[in-house]
Amino acid sequence: MKNLRITVNGTAYDVQVEELDASAAPVAAAPAPAAAPAPAKKAAAPAGAAGSTVVKAPMPGTVVNVVVTAGQAVKAGDDLVFIEAMKMETPVKAPKDGTVATIDVAKGEAVDSGKVLVTLN
């Protein structure tokens, strides 16, 4: 299974796609119910200027909570995002004082180790 994000008319959808090998015969599938749109990501502050701090996922897992908003001031050690891995929730903390420039993940999203979660200015 692959996790993909597809954007249709400005609305993002997180979907899972199963890869079939070349020998598998196509099967007619019943129409799938419409997927609920992923929560829109807010970006209030300008992103990624020189000197920005990128906060990355320390491990693969699922985002269970995003506790900051774009434009919010944070201090070193403040919780930014919570990731669940192996049935444990791990907080991802701000490495330094700053302002949240971008939030690059949404609640429920599967992330790999090293995925950008938040950018601070």
Amino acid at 99: T
**How many domains would you assign to the chain?**
1
CA–CA dist 52, 44 (Å, integer):
15
Residue 42 has pLDDT above 50, yes or no: no
Q: Is the pLDDT of residue 38 over 70?
A: no
The CATH number given to whatever domain includes residue 86 is 2.40.50.100
Phi-psi domain of 26 (left: phi exceeds 0; alpha: psi -120 through 50; beta: other): beta
Residue 95's pLDDT is 95
Strand locations in 18-109 (E): 53-56, 61-66, 73-74, 79-85, 88-93, 98-103
**Residue 19's domain spans which residues?**
2-120
Show contacts of 2-10: CB within 8 Å, 24+ apart: 3/110, 5/38
Average pLDDT for 71-97: 94
What are the structure tokens assigned to 19, written together? Answer: 């890869």
| Across 55-79, average pLDDT | 94
